Amino acid sequence: MELIGRDLACIRGGREVFASVGFHVDAGKALLVVGPNGSGKSSLLRLIAGLLRPAAGTVALNGGKAELSVAEQAHYLGHQDALKPSLSVRENLEFWAAFLGGGTGNGFAYKTSFLHENPPPNGPAWPSPETGRSADKNSPEGGQSTSGGIEGAENQPGHGAVTLTLERGRSANESSPGGGQITAHDPSPSPRPDPPSSVDGEGEHPPDNVGAALGAVGLDELADLPAAYLSAGQRRRLSIARLLAVPRPLWLLDEPSAALDAAAQVRLTALMHGHLSGGGLILAATHGPLGLNAAQELRLGGAQ
């Protein structure tokens, strides 16, 4: 699989943002898009994601599903978190899993493995089981937490070997083709129906990609918390979980480490390495290092 952009140009508001931009990214590789503010980094990612129409040029994902567009085989992580405050952490992710198809139809499955044998000195800032709060300084509970269950590494999940397995499967809740409201969670007290059985007829159920994704970003302990109470860093981690809940080969990441603390950035780097090792591709707009030392670099022009 390879992503190829040829002679791309972008015009916004009557101004040429960039022109004659080209790139070639193979499976298992990353491309960092760098340049000053206003050089078109975000516009390039939005163009590839199908959110902007190019003024010139083409983008192709060779080796992908021929019946799907590039956008349908890509995840776009922008500056907005796209979360509904009244829904819980899990309900938000379940909605996106249902909306994006739960991983069905794009033909991409991978395994992401990462290690935390040498965690940061202060330990990963994942939520404490005792308080349900994180060390993100923007926490709505007020200021940075100093609870020992949060700052101390000894009480944190994620130490030792952690393996996240994501496979193709159907979402437990699917949208109606008639265009009605997408229901990601049944609010009634009755138990949820069993998830659909596997296609081989042996009665095995597809994996809980939503639960696994929340665990991978350290939000499993906050699954029932309304998203309104998440800090900026926690909201960013929930948005990153969307990339894992619905496997797609191409990740388009716009400043993915924004609002993340040091421990969360380490986890993000591990997830990106896992995606690449499974044959995925990454294009990331960034102003700083992301821990992808072997990544190629595409530098866009000066600020306009």
> Which residues 6+ apart lie within 8 Å of 130 measured at CB?
147, 149, 155
- Its domain, for residue 83, covers 2-186+202-299
The answer to whether residue 258 sits within a structural domain is yes
CATH, residue 239? 3.40.50.300
Q: Of 257, 188, 178, 246, which Cα lies nearest the Cα of 212?
A: 246
pLDDT digits (tens, 9 = 90+) for 51-106: 999 999 999 999 999 999 999 999 999 999 889 999 999 999 999 999 988 544 44
How remote is the C-alpha of 166 from its chain's centroid?
13
pLDDT digits (tens, 9 = 90+) for 215-237: 999 999 999 999 999 999 999 99
- Which residues sit opposite 88 in a β-bridge? 226
The answer to whether residue 195 sits within a structural domain is no
Q: Of 245, 86, 101, which Cα lies nearest the Cα of 175?
A: 101
pTM above 0.75, yes or no: no
The answer to whether residue 304 sits within a structural domain is no
Helices (H), the chain: 41-48, 89-99, 148-151, 209-216, 232-245, 262-277
Tell me how many domains the chain contains.
1
Average pLDDT (164-191) is 38
